[in-house]
Amino acid sequence: MEVIQPFTLAPWEARLQVILNSQGEEEEDKIKELAKAGWAVRIATSSSARNDLVGMGVAIRIPISVARAGKISEAFSVTLGTKEEHNPYIAELAAITHGLGCLPEMKYRVIVIVTSNKSAAQAIGNPRQQSGQ
């Protein structure tokens, strides 16, 4: 029999470490250092809502040591739908999900996700349901 839990990730499970650039100068320097590191996997995401359409974009840079025989960089953009169906917050989370889904299976690797959507970054560190759900 299937057991359905009321949460996606158990509260006692380890979560991603989220560092926001508004947490102080020391944390901001750490972010910049990680983003420039050649050994870290880097993912940049973006979302937008214009002309009643919502879209997302992802750029991925994988170090040669991790890429094996695969690609070391990839870029992707798509229109998700209308503003009635989606919003930039959901588009940003979808972009992050897509970026992580494109990575080869790896363990113990630093992955830097750069996003301008602060609420999406906060939701990853402390997930909650969106209002109205």
Convert the pLDDT of each residue in 50-84 to its tens digit: 999 999 999 998 887 666 656 688 888 999 999 99
CATH of 40-120, one of 3.30.70.2500, 1.10.12.10, 1.20.1250.20, 3.30.420.10: 3.30.420.10
Strands across the sheet containing 41-50: 73-82, 53-61, 41-50, 111-114
The domains of the chain are located at: 40-120
pTM, entire model: 0.72
Alpha-carbon distance of 12 to 121, in angstroms, equals: 20
Please give the pLDDT value at position 55.
94
Alpha-carbon distance of 29 to 87, in angstroms, equals: 31
Give the residues of the chain that fall short of pLDDT 50: none
